[in-house]
Amino acid sequence: MLGLALLFGLVTAAVNLLGSLLAVTRKYDGGATIRNSIGFGGGFLLAAAFFEVLPASLEGGATMPLYVIAGYMVVYLFEQLFATHAHESPHSGLLPPVPKEGSPADHTLVQELQHADALISPHAGLAALVGFNVHDFIDGLAIGAAMLTSNTLGVVVFLAVLLHEAPAGFSIAAILLGAGRSRRTAVLAGGSIGVATLIGIMVPFAIGELSESTAQIFLALSAGSFVYIAATNLIPAASAGGAGTSRIPFLYVVAGILIFLATSEVAERLLG
């Protein structure tokens, strides 16, 4: 079981690297293709949270919603504290100044996909890297805990995590390039969040006989994380683009939900 979990981790790390390589080898225009793919990923993640991961965690009892909220807030706080908008001018200190205008939603990590050519300070690049690694470590915990619960749930969580790994790898590489780092450093940054996922996967197994309640806590944290990423980052980003933007991304969100339900059923039949 650990071997399969680590294989999943290696695949996610490879996808992170692929996203980073895309960032350093080509310019991304943030057009219809990325909006549609982000919408699909948002729908899939939202369905994973509500149809699979959240129900599994709630079997742990009445305290599990507290961990769901905690998972949501952890990602929210790290994103607000560490993820910075690619349009920021250089500044001193680790944390960016409070923006004078614009919505806080403009500072979410997915928005960086649409601003890959802008410059940010080296401090901001480092802070963003910390935020990405924390998030992917939580993803790894989710995969490891899910594998210890059941192979079916492990596959579902792995697929859910996998869908947003390429945008994550692309984003962190684009941020570091904008901060003046080399292409090699940008690619290594994408690799680092893959390593964070692998470490997170091993933690539940290293604990030993992980109790069912502990696994459910990890899953609850993951559910909150998935809800935040899907509802705050991916789905709104899919609709970005100003007046006259096509409503086709909405169909991709629905498609993501339907594909999740289909893959969940397939996983249940194959591994159940």
Q: CA dihedral in degrees (124, 131, 170, 158; nearest 10)?
A: 180
Contact 83, 136 (CB under 8 A): no
The answer to pTM > 0.85 is no
> What share of the chain has pLDDT > 70, as a percent?
71
**Given this model, what pLDDT does residue 63 score?**
93
What is the per-residue DSSP string for the chain?
-HHHHHHHHHHHHHHHHHHHHHHHHS-----HHHHHHHHHHHHHHHHHIIIIIHHHHHTT-TTHHHHHHHHHHHHHHHHHHH---TTPPP-SSSSPPPPSSS-GGGGSGGGGGG-TT----HHHHHHHHHHHHHHHHHHHHHHHHHHHH-HHHHHHHHHHHHHTHHHHHHHHHHHHHHTT--HHHHHHHHHHHHHHHHHHHHHHHHTSS--HHHHHHHHHHHHHHHHHIIIIIIHHHHT-S-TT--SHHHHHHHHHHHHHHHHHHHHHHHH-
Q: Which two tokens stand for residue 152?
A: 């079916």
Segments making up each domain of the chain, as ranges: 19-89+103-271
Query: For residue 192, is pLDDT > 70?
Result: yes
What pLDDT was estimated at residue 104? 43
How many other CB atoms are found less than 10 A from the CB of residue 145? 32
Cβ(200)–Cβ(146) under 8 Å? no
Q: How far is CA 14 from CA 51, 75, 162, 181, 272, in A?
A: 27, 23, 10, 21, 27
122 vs 107, 168, 169, 181, CA distance in Å?
17, 19, 18, 8
Most confident of 175-179, 208-212, 248-252: 248-252
* pLDDT tens digits along 84-136: 444 444 444 444 454 454 444 444 444 444 444 444 556 667 767 877 787 78
| Sign of the CA dihedral running 31, 37, 43, 49 | negative
- Higher-confidence residue: 144 or 270? 144
The burial of 119, by beta-carbon neighbours within 10 Å (0-12 exposed, 13-18 middle, 19 or more buried), is given as middle
